[in-house]
């Protein structure tokens, strides 16, 4: 399994849990529940606020809807999401504007994506 930045391609059949409306739950700054998958982020010390983690969880759903096609690397996907955020701000991540989201950095998004066991990389 490759890691972010290795130029690895995402497999075309990669699925995130519960495609339609993944339930996103943030317990604290070091644990995200995405669908039925618990993601331990205790080693990602750069995430310091629950709002960052909520935004990252929403960004993962956004990635699934817009960029997960099997032809892009994780680095390309993260760069595309960050470009979208620079142009349109956090409102693009959710159907309705939410006041509890905080901006995150690209490496924080990549760190969470790397810890999703359900995302397979060739």
The answer to whether residue 16 is domain-embedded is: no
Residue 12 covered by a domain: no
Q: What is the rounded average pLDDT for all residues in the chain?
A: 82
Please report whether residue 17 resides in a domain: no
In percent, the amount of the chain with pLDDT more than 90 equals 40
Residue 46 inside a domain? The answer is yes
Q: pTM (2 decimals)?
A: 0.79
User: What is the total count of domains within the chain?
Assistant: 1
Q: Give a yes or no: residue 6 inside a domain.
A: no
Q: Determine the structural domain holding residue 82 and report its residue range.
A: 24-114
Residue 25's SS3 state is: strand
Higher pLDDT, 81 or 14: 81
Q: Is residue 22 very low, low, confident or very high in pLDDT (cuts 50, 70, 90)?
A: low
For residue 122, tell me if it sits in a domain: no
Residues ≥6 apart with Cβ < 8 Å to 117: 37
Has residue 9 been placed in a domain?
A: no
Task: Tell me the two tokens of residue 112.
Answer: 């969470």
């Amino acid at each position: 399994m490759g890691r972010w930045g290795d130029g690895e391609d995402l497999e075309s059949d990669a699925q995130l849990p519960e495609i339609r409306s993944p339930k996103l739950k943030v317990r604290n700054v070091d644990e995200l529940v995405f669908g039925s998958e618990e993601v331990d982020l205790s080693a990602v010390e750069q995430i310091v606020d629950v709002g960052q983690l909520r935004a990252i969880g929403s960004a993962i759903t956004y990635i699934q809807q817009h960029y997960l096609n099997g032809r892009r690397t994780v680095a390309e996907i993260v760069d595309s999401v960050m470009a979208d955020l620079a142009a349109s701000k956090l409102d693009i991540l959710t159907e309705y504007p939410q006041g509890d989201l905080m901006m995150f950095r690209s490496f924080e998004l990549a760190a969470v994506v790397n810890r999703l066991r359900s995302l397979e990389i060739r």
